[in-house]
Structure 1
Amino acid sequence: MPCGGSRVRSASVHGGVALTLSAVVAVLAACGTGGAPESATSASVAPPAQTPGVPESPRPAPNVSPSVSASPPAGAPTAKPLPGARTVTGRASSVSGTTDEATLTAYAAMADRAVAAVEQHWTRDWPGRVTLVAPADLTQFREQTGRADDVSQVAAITDGPLDAEGRATADRVVLNPEAFARLTPEGRQFVITHESTHVALRSSLPGAAPLWLVEGFADHVGYAGSSRSRAELAAGLLEKVRAGQGPTRLPTQGDFDPSQGEIAPAYLASWLAVDLIVRRYGEAALQRFYVASTVNASPAQADTAMDAAFREVLGTTRAEFTTQWLAELRRLAG
C-alpha cells in the first residue's frame, strides 16, 4: 500500500526552530508493517522492530517534522533536568534520557555524525557539540518542553535561552519518544542532523532569517550525501506541481503552520530553493546569504534584509530568483 508524502516540519516559535514529524516520517519512515523505508504519513508508520542502529544511506525525510524549537527570553532559567536520567557522552554530543542505554548510545553516535555534517556546511564559530534529551514517555516529553497541545507530528523540540543579543546560549534537542518510535534509523539521523543545524546557527548568529531559509538550510544539511535524486526526495511536492497545485512564491511563515493546512510542501519547497542557491552560487554564497538575511528583529525586517541579500550577495532579486526556482520545480516535475 503506497505511503503518503508528508515531510518534516520545522517552525520558528518565539525565536526558536521546529521540525515536525510529518516531514520526517513521510520520507524516512517505513510504510506499514514490514515495508521498505518509504515516505509515509505519521499515522501510517509502524514502529521499528529494533532499537536505533547505524543508519543506512540517507533517504528522503520521514513523515514527522523533526522538531519545534522555542527560545526562552534572555536570562531565563536553565531547563530542569530529566528525573532519573542517565547520560551517555559521545565525541561531540551528550545524551541524557530515561530510555535504555543502548538507545542513548545510538543517539549519541547519530549526534556525532550530525555535528560532523553540520561542520561541512557551516563555517562560523559554534560550540561544535549537541545536547540531546531522550525521555522514555510522552509525559516526560511534555514536562520537559512545556507542551500541552497535540505533539503527534513533532519529532523533537530544540529550545534554550537567548543572550541579550538574541543568540542561543544553551540549546538542547528534546526527542519525542512516540514520534521517534515511528522512524527508521535513517529518519532519526535526519531529524538529529536537521536539529543540530539549527543548534549551530542559533548559537553563532543572533536573531533569525526568514523561515523558508531557516528550514531549507537545515534540510540541505540533513539531505547532504543522500543517494536519491532531488526528484525522488521531493516527490510529494512535485506531485502537486504536476497537478497545478504547486507554490507560486517562496514559503512564508503561515505555510509552516499546521493549523492552516498541509505543511510538508513548504519544507520541500524551501529545501529546493536552498538547493538551487547552492547549485547556482555555491556553499560559501549560501552561507553569506544566510548571514545577510538574519536579523534580531521582526519577520518583516528579516524579509527586507533578505531582499537586500538577494541583490548584494547573489546579484539577483527575489522576483528573479523565484521565477528560476519555479521553473526548476516544473522541470523536476516534468
Structure 2
Amino acid sequence: MPPVRRSPVRVLPLLLSVLLAGCGAPAPRDGAERDVRAAVADWSRMPPAELSGIPLEGWAYEVSAVRRDGAAATARAELRYRLSGYDAAAAGTAREVRLSRDGGRWHVTGDRPAPGALPQLWDQGPVAVVRGAHALVLGVGQQAGTLSEIAAEADRAVPAADAAWPGPWPGRAVVLVPGSLERMAELLGRPAAEYRGMGAVTTGRVGAAPAPADRVVVNPQGWGELSPAGRGVVLTHEVTHVATRAATTETTPQWLSEGFADWAAYRGTPATPEQAAPALARAVRRGEVPGELPRAQDFAFGGDPEALARAYEGAWLACRLIAGRWGEAALVDLYRRAGREPWPAAVRGALGMDPDALTKDWQEALRAEFR
C-alpha cells in the first residue's frame, strides 16, 4: 500500500502532545527489545550459508513484534527476498525467529514459519539447484538426474508457452520439486488428497500488478507416473498459466484459463481429440453432450475423476475449436478481453457472436468429433 502523504502543519506543543496521546502513540521500546531487534538485523544481513546455491537477493527480515521470556525471546518478522533474474517483485513470508541471551548478548538460534504461514522449500531440507536456459529448478530430497530432467522439460515448455501466448511475460519459470506429495501439500497449505494424481500445479496471484514469479510446484509422485509426453503436456500447461497470469482476472472463466493452457500444451503435438479427451468422448457417445461449457466448480479436485477429466477435456476442445475456426489470434484476443470485459462483450468483440451461440457451436463440434 503506498504511504499516505501529509502536508506539514504548525501546531502548539501542548496541542501536539494531546493529539499524540489521543492517537495512541507507540510505547517506547525498552533496551532488551532493541537488543533483540538488533540481533535479528545482524543475523539476517545475508541468506544463511546452506542457501548459497539459490540466487537470492534483497534478503531481509523486518521485525514486527518481540516476545521475551527470561533468557529466551521470539521475534515475529516478515522475510522478504527475490530470486535474482526470476522475480519481478519481492516475495514475502511471515517467520518466527527464536533467540537466546548468553553473556548479556542475544543470539539467534533458529527460525521457522510463523503460525498460519506456509513453509518455504528450504524448511523441508537441503535445497538442490539446477539452472536451465529458461528455468530455475529447486528440489528437496530428489535425485540430481530427476531435477535435470525437469529442468530440460521446463526449457521446452517455456518456448512452447511463449509461442502460444504472444503477450508480454518474463519468459522464464521457477519450478519447485518437494520430496513427496505430502511435502507438496505443506508448501501449498492444502490437504494432500487434493493433489493426488496431479503432476504439477501453479501458484501465484492473478492480475497485472507486480508480483513475484509464479512457482510451478511438481508432485513427485504424480510426475513419476506420467509418460514422457504427459510430462511435457503437464509442464507446458503450468508454464502457460505463468505466461497468462497478468491477463487473467477474477472475471476470466476458468474453462478458458484451463482450456487455453491445455491448448498451448497440445499445440504442435500429434495428439488427437480421441487420444487426449477419452472421458468426454465416452460421454458424448453415450448421448451425454454437456449442456454448457464447464463451470468453475467442475474443476474442483477430490470429486469424480471422470467428471474432472471431462471438464478439462471440454475446455481444451472449446479453445481448440476457437483457434481452428476463428484463428489463434482470436483465441488470444478472447482471453485478453475476458480478463477486462463482461463475458458477453468479450465473446462479441473477439468472435462476433453471443455466448449461447459459442456454446452451441462447441456442442455441435463435440457431436461431430465423437459420433
Q: What TM-score, normalized to structure 2?
A: 0.63
Q: In the TM superposition, what whole-angstrom CA distance separates every residue of 1:44-75 from its partner, at most 9, and x where no partner exists?
A: xxxxxxxxxxxxxxxxxxxxxxxxxxxxxx98
**Match of residue 92, structure 1, among 134, 147, 150:** 134
Amino acid at match of 1:160: G
Aligned to 1:321: 358
Amino acid at match of 1:285: A
Task: Report the secondary structure of 2:229's partner residue.
Answer: helix
Task: Work out which of the two has the higher radius of gyration on C-alpha atoms and give 1 or 2.
Answer: 2
The structure with the largest strand share of the pair is 2
Give, in whole Å, the separation in 2 of the partners of 1:254 and 1:86. Answer: 37
Shift of 1:260: 5.2
Shift of 1:318: 0.8
Amino acid at match of 2:231: R
Aligned to 1:287: 332
Pair 1:142–1:255, CA change in 2 (3 A): closer
How many percent identity over aligned positions? 37
Name which of structure 1's ranges 198-207 and 219-228 shifts more when overlaid on structure 2. Answer: 198-207
2:196 pairs with 1:152: yes
Shift of 1:233: 2.2
Give, in whole Å, the separation in 1 of the partners of 2:161 and 2:133. Answer: 14
Structure 2 alignment gaps of length 5 or more: 1-89, 95-118
Give, in whole Å, the separation in 2 of the partners of 1:75 and 1:87. Answer: 19
Give, in whole Å, the separation in 2 of the partners of 1:240 and 1:155. Answer: 25
Q: In the TM superposition, what whole-angstrom CA distance separates every residue of 1:181-240 from its partner, at most 9, and x where no partner exists?
A: 211122111111000000111145555510000000000011112213223322321111
Pair 1:278–1:161, CA change in 2 (3 A): closer
Say whether the 8 Å CA contact 1:118–1:193 is kept in structure 2: yes
Pair 1:146–1:110, CA change in 2 (3 A): same
Say whether the 8 Å CA contact 2:121–2:176 is kept in structure 1: no
Pair 1:178–1:127, CA change in 2 (3 A): same
Number of equivalences: 252
Shift of 1:306: 1.9
**Match of residue 267, structure 1, among 312, 316, 323:** 312
Shift of 1:141: 1.6
Amino acid at match of 1:93: A
Pair 1:132–1:259, CA change in 2 (3 A): closer
Task: Report the secondary structure of 1:94's partner residue.
Answer: strand
Amino acid at match of 1:187: G
Pair 1:274–1:246, CA change in 2 (3 A): same
Amino acid at match of 1:332: E
Name which of structure 1's ranges 78-87 and 118-127 shifts more when overlaid on structure 2. Answer: 78-87
2:191 pairs with 1:186: no
CA RMSD of aligned residues (A): 2.2
Task: Report the secondary structure of 1:251's partner residue.
Answer: coil
Amino acid at match of 2:200: A
2:126 pairs with 1:81: no
**Match of residue 254, structure 2, among 178, 187, 211:** 211
Amino acid at match of 1:89: R
**Match of residue 122, structure 1, among 165, 170, 177:** 165
Pair 1:148–1:234, CA change in 2 (3 A): closer
Task: Report the secondary structure of 1:95's partner residue.
Answer: strand
Aligned to 1:332: 369
Amino acid at match of 1:107: I
Amino acid at match of 1:106: E
Name which of structure 1's ranges 253-262 and 85-94 shifts more when overlaid on structure 2. Answer: 253-262
Aligned to 1:195: 238
Aligned to 2:53: none
Give, in whole Å, the separation in 1 of the partners of 2:200 and 2:280. Answer: 23
Pair 1:149–1:143, CA change in 2 (3 A): closer
Give, in whole Å, the separation in 2 of the partners of 1:76 and 1:308. Answer: 37
2:199 pairs with 1:134: no
Structure 1 alignment gaps of length 5 or more: 1-73, 296-303
Pair 1:205–1:252, CA change in 2 (3 A): closer
Task: Choose between structure 1 and 2 for higher RCO, CA contacts under 8 A separated by at least 6 residues.
Answer: 1
Shift of 1:143: 2.5
Shift of 1:283: 0.9
Amino acid at match of 1:95: V
Say whether the 8 Å CA contact 2:209–2:246 is kept in structure 1: no
Give, in whole Å, the separation in 2 of the partners of 1:162 and 1:266. Answer: 21
Give, in whole Å, the separation in 2 of the partners of 1:162 and 1:289. Answer: 17
Give, in whole Å, the separation in 2 of the partners of 1:75 and 1:101. Answer: 26
Give, in whole Å, the separation in 2 of the partners of 1:292 and 1:148. Answer: 34
Say whether the 8 Å CA contact 1:162–1:169 is kept in structure 2: no
Name which of structure 1's ranges 76-85 and 220-229 shifts more when overlaid on structure 2. Answer: 76-85
Say whether the 8 Å CA contact 2:251–2:342 is kept in structure 1: no
Task: Report the secondary structure of 1:157's partner residue.
Answer: strand
